[in-house]
Amino acid sequence: MNFAIKKNMDMQEQMYQDVKAWLISGMKKKDFVKSKQYDINKFDYWYRKYKAESQSKELGESNNFKEVNLFPIEEAKVRKVLEIESPGGIKITVFE
């Protein structure tokens, strides 16, 4: 692994640990950062990154859409008129 990539991964891991520690601490952000070797701007950057990644994971894990079958497709005497599938895997089918 490239040294720069490993260093960045170590930095991310450390900053995410600090963000989690701050969230649990209940301290004001500026007070928490005072004891660290970086400024509040750097902490804010990593906090926003952590928050965005966390939200992204939550959205990816939740599957709120369910297929609804009013009656089995085999029994339907209809024909498929339109089918649209997005690159993300969402499929919409319209029957006559």
Residues 26-68: pLDDT tens digits? Answer: 999 999 999 899 999 999 999 999 998 888 776 666 566 677 7
DSSP run (H or E) holding 85: strand 80-85
Q: Beta strand pairing status for 91-95 and 80-85?
A: antiparallel
* Tokens 């498929």 found at: 80
pTM exceeds cut of 0.95? no
Query: Tokens 């070797």, residue?
Result: 37
